[in-house]
Structure 1
Amino acid sequence: MATSTVTRLADLTVDAASLIADIEAYLAEQAPRTAHPLVTKTTDQLIAEALAAPAAVDEQHAPALEAPRRLWRIIPDWALALTPARRLHGAGRQITVVQHLELTALVLQQYGHHRGGLRSRSGRRCILGAQSVLYRLGYGDEETAEAAGRAMQNVLGGRGVEEPYHAWNDRPGRDLGDALQLIREAISTYNG
């Protein structure tokens, strides 16, 4: 029995380290660039001010995450916070609302989409379940996740949908493409 526990913990650590490394690589690409060391505003902020519009979302820089192995996908969400890789790399990492939305889409793409609950037995996630993965790994906080939820809710409100986005996600026929479209619209219209 001890051997199987060690194997599972090792697999979990490798899977967690791999996912967190990919998220960290994505966040490093998103790091603000400054025009000159003496300039305190980032290049993107200066451009946005000059154009008097928010900076455009660059969908080409989304990282290609490796699909998580089965063990990593099916462990309980509370266990994500206990992984050694999370404590090493992801604990308390602040991200923006747009980054949270982009990473939520990545989790859905890698784990698969689910309706009718936060997760399936095989590890597929609904939108709220994908947000939970990020939160449990330490990326962002409750305020960030709630703001991302409001951004998605605003998109649905613009479509005339009054139900919460997590209930919308659970409707029969809803699929990964629908969920990703909602997230993309929330990213493009977010004005935080």
Structure 2
Amino acid sequence: MTALTAIRPADLTVDAATLIADIEAYLAAQAPKTAHPLVTKTTAQLVAEALQTPQPETTAPALQAPARWWRIIPDWALALTPARRLHGAGRHITVTQHLELTALVLQQYGHHRGGLRSHSGRRCILGAQAVLYRLGYGDEATAEAAGRAMQNVLRRRGIEADYHAWNDQPGRTLNDALHLIREATTQENR
């Protein structure tokens, strides 16, 4: 996943279903290569394979800002979205996937310092993790392990502050947060 640094126009509209679709597209791309093909392929892919017709390449989901409505509703309400009930309820993800999806949420919702979320719906790192949890991606243990991975990166840098307190420091930017998450992802994959 690549980091976007451009400022998004406020009038872009995306709802929770779009965020979930982006997450599902990411997870589909991360599907284990050792799984049985029937588990990881769609019916259309199996038919195309059987007929030996080439499949068009799929592209990564476009990052868009969620609609203001979805950014400002309380986090607990994310668990009530129809898209979450259909796609995300109780979905197991790895720590690496959780970190990468945390970056995706920050890119889509925007970065915030000084609390889990701003009035406009921007999120801090911990707030982005809460969005994933409320949508049903991963569990507390996964989120805590991802937090430990980010904390370990900070400790290697000589910073003893908790990662969420580090996020809230004056001048902290989206790029700083994404860099921390990416470094934690790299360390997690070693």
* 170, 173, 177: which one aligns with 2:171: 173
Q: 2:96 touches 2:189 (CA, 8 Å); kept in 1? A: no
Q: Distance in 2 between matches of 1:173 and 1:97?
A: 28
Residue 82 of structure 1 corresponds to which residue in structure 2? 80
Residue 187 of structure 2 corresponds to which residue in structure 1? 189
Q: Distance in 2 between matches of 1:150 and 1:114?
A: 20
Residue 34 of structure 2 corresponds to which residue in structure 1? 34
Q: Percent identity?
A: 83
Is the counterpart of residue 70 in structure 1 residue 72 in structure 2? no
Normalising to structure 2: TM-score of the pair? 0.78
Structure 1 segments of 4 or more deviating over 2 A? 34-37, 61-66
Shift in Å at residue 132 of structure 1? Answer: 0.2
Change (3 A) 1:136 1:35: closer
Q: Distance in 2 between matches of 1:36 and 1:104?
A: 28
Residue 160 of structure 1 corresponds to which residue in structure 2? 158
> For residue 27 of structure 2, what is the amino acid of its counterpart?
L
* 142, 145, 170: which one aligns with 2:143: 145
CA RMSD of aligned residues (A): 1.9
Q: Deviations over 1:138-179 (max 9, x none)?
A: 000000000000000000000111110000000000000100
Shift in Å at residue 191 of structure 1? Answer: 5.0
Number of aligned positions between the proteins? 156
Structure holding more helix per residue: 1
Structure 1 runs not aligned, ≥5 long: 1-13, 38-60
Shift in Å at residue 24 of structure 1? Answer: 0.6
Is the counterpart of residue 17 in structure 1 residue 30 in structure 2? no
Residue 58 of structure 1 corresponds to which residue in structure 2? none
Q: Deviations over 1:15-74 (max 9, x none)?
A: 12211111111100000113997xxxxxxxxxxxxxxxxxxxxxxx86433221110111
Normalising to structure 1: TM-score of the pair? 0.77
Q: Deviations over 1:100-139 (max 9, x none)?
A: 0000001001111000000000000000000000000000
